[in-house]
Amino acid sequence: MKPLFQLTRSSMIWLLVSILLVTIPFISILPGWLYLLAFLTVGWRLMVHSGRWNFPHWSVRFGLLLLVLLGLLFELRGGSVMAVTVGLLVSAFLLKLTEMYRRRDALVVIFVAFLLTVCSFLFHQSIPMALYALLCLIVVTACLNTVYRSQQNSDVWRPLKHSVTLYMQALPMMLVLFLIFPRIGPLWQVDLNTGQSFTGLSDSMSPGDVSRLTRSAEIAFRARFDGPPPPENQRYWRGLTYDRFDGRRWTRSGLQTARLSDSQMSVGGQKYNYQMVMEATGQPWRYGLDIPMVYPANIRRITDLTLVGKQPLMQRAQYQLVSQSGSIREPLSAERYAEYLQLPRQGNENARLLALKWYSETTGAKDLSLKMMAFFASEFRYTLEPPLLSSANSIDQFLFQTQRGFCGHFASAAVFMFRAAGIPARVVGGYMGGELNPLDGALTVRQYEAHAWLEYWDRQDLSWHRLDPTSVVAPLRLEQPAEQLFRTESAFLADALMMR
C-alpha cells in the first residue's frame, strides 16, 4: 500500500533524529533485540519514503507485534516492570513507522516521542539529563513543525530555528513556574526495580533519610552466630558507604566498584562466623557485620568494604559470612585519597573554619576525633523529628543553630569537618543492634534499627577507624533496643501503629 501522505525530506530527517535522541536514554534499560527492531522499522520506512518498497502487509506487522509481545513477556520474568512497560511504548513507537499512511499517523509518532522524553526521567534525574531532555523537546518540536510545511519548502534548518525561538520565548515563564509552583508530592509511586515496594537503605542519603526508616518495623535481616554474638555496642551491620557530597545529599562515586582483596588490607580483632538471612531490598548490596572478611563466591567485596551481589536482591536470600572487628589497615591511592576529601567549593564556612581551628590545635586525626566527640556531647540532642535545615548551609545550621538531629545529621556533619581539616572520611549506612531470640540464638534486625556512622582515615597508621557520634549524644542507642529508646517519639513506628 502506498502512503496517502508523503513526508517531506526535512520531515524524514528530523523524524529519524528525534527517534535516535529519545531512545538514547534507554540504551542501558531496554533489551538489545529492540534495537534490531529499530533498525528494521526505520530502514523499511526509509525504503517506503524513497519509493522503492511498499508498506509491509498487515500479516507482517501482526507477526512483528507478536514477536515483540513474546519478547517483552520473556523480559518480564527477570526484569523490571517499569523497564518492560517503557519497552512496550518504544516498540509501539517503532512499529507505528511501518503504517504511517496519513498525517495523523506521523503526529502519533511525534507525540509518543514527547512522552518518551518525559519517561526518561523515570530512570535518570539530573541536571545534564534535564538539559538533554530540553534538546529532545526542541528537536521533536522541529519535527512537528515540518509535518505541516509544504513540499516546496526544503530548508532543513528552518524548523529547528523556529523551534528554538519558541522555547526561548517560553523560557521566562518556565523559570517563573519553577520558582513559584509548589512541589506537590506524588499521588502514587512506582518502584523502578520491580514494581514492588521495598523498605531499606538507598544509594544516596540526606541526614533525614535514616530517621524515616524508624517508621517501619519490617525485618531487614536475621543473623545466627556459631558462637556468642558480639556485644550490643559492637553490633554494627555494614550496608554501604557514601563518599560524595553536593551540599545536600551524600551519594556513591564510581571509585568504589573495584574488588578489594585481603592482601590489600588487614584487620585485627574478634572473629565471628554466622549465617545471614536477608529480606528482599531490590538493591544489589548485601549486609554483614562490620568488617566482612569471608563471603560467598557470588558476592564480591568492593573497595569501601561493601558487599555486592551479582543481581539485585528480589527475594529472601541466605548466605554465610565471617566478620572481624577492629580498625582497617588499608593504604589509599592518590585518587581515592582525593575522593575522600571532596567537598563543595562553597558553603558551610563556619564549619570549615572550626574544623581548621581544631586541627591546628591537635597532633592528628585521633585528637581531632576526640575534640569532635566532646563538641557533640556538649549541647546536642538526639531526636527522630529534627527541624528542617536549609540546603545551602545545612551543616552550619545544624552545628551552630538547631543542634538537634538523628544519626545521619551527626555522621554527615562529622565527615564534613574531617574533610575540611584535610582528613579523608566517609559516611557509612547500615544498622545498629538486633533483638536476640533466646530460643534459637538468632538476632533479628528491623528497619527501625537503621543507623549511620562514619569512618576516618588516619595517615599515622594508614587505617580506617570507626567513629559514631551517637555514642556520646545518645549512649543508650548503643546499649538499649531501639524500640525502648524511641518509644516516646511520635515518629517512631508511625507506619506500624499496631506495634506501638
Interval 280-311: pLDDT, tens: 888 889 999 988 999 999 999 988 899 999 88
Q: Which of 479, 450, 249, 475 is nearest to 382 (CA)?
A: 475
pLDDT-based confidence at 212, cuts 50/70/90? low
**136 is annotated as an active-site residue:** no
- What letter represents residue 245's amino acid? F
Percentage of residues in the chain having pLDDT higher than 90: 32
The answer on pLDDT for 198 being more than 60 is no
Higher model confidence: residue 160 or residue 262? 160
Render pLDDT for 348-368 as a digit per residue (tens, 0 to 9): 999 999 999 999 998 899 999
Alpha-carbon gap, residue 192 to 190, rounded angstroms = 6
pLDDT at 484: 53
Q: Which of 254, 248, 253 is nearest to 209 (CA)?
A: 248
pLDDT at 497: 37
The answer on pLDDT for 267 being more than 80 is no
pLDDT-based confidence at 238, cuts 50/70/90? very high
pLDDT-based confidence at 182, cuts 50/70/90? low
Higher model confidence: residue 333 or residue 181? 333
User: For residue 231, which phi and psi values (nearest 5 degrees)?
Assistant: -60, 160
Higher model confidence: residue 271 or residue 69? 271
Across the range 42-52, mean pLDDT stands at 75
CA-to-CA dists, residue 86 to 25, 118, 119, 187, angstroms: 11, 11, 8, 20
pLDDT at 314: 84
The answer on pLDDT for 188 being more than 70 is no
The answer on pLDDT for 430 being more than 50 is yes
Q: Which of 451, 461, 465, 495 is catalytic?
A: 451
pLDDT at 258: 65
The answer on pLDDT for 481 being more than 50 is yes
The answer on pLDDT for 393 being more than 90 is no
- Looking at 19-23, 33-37, 78-82, 281-285, which range is the least confident one? 78-82
pLDDT at 318: 94
pLDDT at 500: 38
Go through 318-348 and write b for each residue having 16 or more CB atoms within 10 A of its CB, e for each that does not.
ebebebbbebbebebeeebeebbbebeeebb
* Residues 6 or more apart whose Cβ sits within 8 Å of residue 401: none
Across the range 121-142, mean pLDDT stands at 87
pLDDT at 1: 52
- What letter represents residue 464's amino acid? W
pLDDT-based confidence at 496, cuts 50/70/90? very low
Render pLDDT for 92-127 as a digit per residue (tens, 0 to 9): 888 887 887 677 878 888 998 999 998 888 777 778
pLDDT at 75: 74
pLDDT at 449: 87
Q: Which of 407, 440, 458, 495 is catalytic?
A: 407
Higher model confidence: residue 217 or residue 266? 217
Across the range 247-254, mean pLDDT stands at 84
Three-state DSSP class for 452?
A: strand
- Long-range contacts of range 77-85, CB-CB < 8 Å, 24 or more positions apart? 79/31, 80/29, 80/192, 80/193, 80/194, 80/195, 81/190, 81/194, 81/195, 82/122, 82/190, 82/191, 82/192, 82/195, 83/29, 83/30, 83/192
User: For residue 451, which phi and psi values (nearest 5 degrees)?
Assistant: -150, 160
The answer on pLDDT for 339 being more than 60 is yes
Across the range 310-315, mean pLDDT stands at 86
Q: Which of 209, 243, 304, 468 is catalytic?
A: 468
Go through 229-251 and write b for each residue having 16 or more CB atoms within 10 A of its CB, e for each that does not.
bbeeebbbbbbbbbbbbebbbbe
> Cell 543492634, residue?
433
**124 is annotated as an active-site residue:** no
**468 is annotated as an active-site residue:** yes
Average pLDDT, the chain: 82
pLDDT at 209: 53
pLDDT at 374: 94
pLDDT-based confidence at 200, cuts 50/70/90? low
The answer on pLDDT for 66 being more than 50 is yes
